[in-house]
Amino acid sequence: MRLVLSERFRGSLFNEAGAAPRAGSRAPAVSTTPEDPEYSISGTITVSRALAGRVERADRLVVLLFDPQQARPVAFKIIPHALLPQQFRIALPPEARAGAKPGYELRVVTDKNDDPFGAAEGEVAGRSNEPVPLGTAGLVFELNQPYPR
């Protein structure tokens, strides 16, 4: 499948079939990353016992894949409801595959206020301690720290 953007966006998109928009939502939940296993990382998102009370079903989960040498994500995926433990898969976009790195930093944050790149009170996060190789499957990834404001 190939997605070609030919005009300005004038609607709303959701990354889960049948997902309804959240009340007061300012931004659509969109993911356009193909999920080729060779160029993806997959596993299960969990939350530490100490922070479990902060995660609510209405929270979204934002999965971010970072090139360790850049300060911005190369891919992201928004999961519309935090039903932990939660299965996930995120892939390197096709345009970045020619320069694929040996590993990527993985971050997952909860989103309580429809602003996936800004922290709100009560949100939690997790970060990989070292780069995760593409093709990794079965990773158990824990949300283990408050998302700093």
- pLDDT in the model for residue 90: 96
Q: Indicate the residue type of 117.
A: F
Distance CA(18)–CA(114), nearest Å, equals 19
pTM of the model: 0.75
Distance CA(106)–CA(65), nearest Å, equals 5
Backbone CA torsion sign across 112, 113, 115, 120: negative
Chain segment 74-120, per-residue pLDDT in tens: 999 999 999 999 999 999 999 889 889 989 999 999 999 988 878 88
**Peptide bond between residue 80 and the one before it cis (omega within 30 degrees of 0):** no
Chain segment 35-85, per-residue pLDDT in tens: 678 999 999 999 999 999 999 999 999 999 999 888 789 999 999 999 999
Chain segment 15-33, per-residue pLDDT in tens: 433 344 444 444 433 444 4
**Domain range annotation of the chain:** 37-146
Query: Which class would CATH give 37-146?
Result: mainly beta
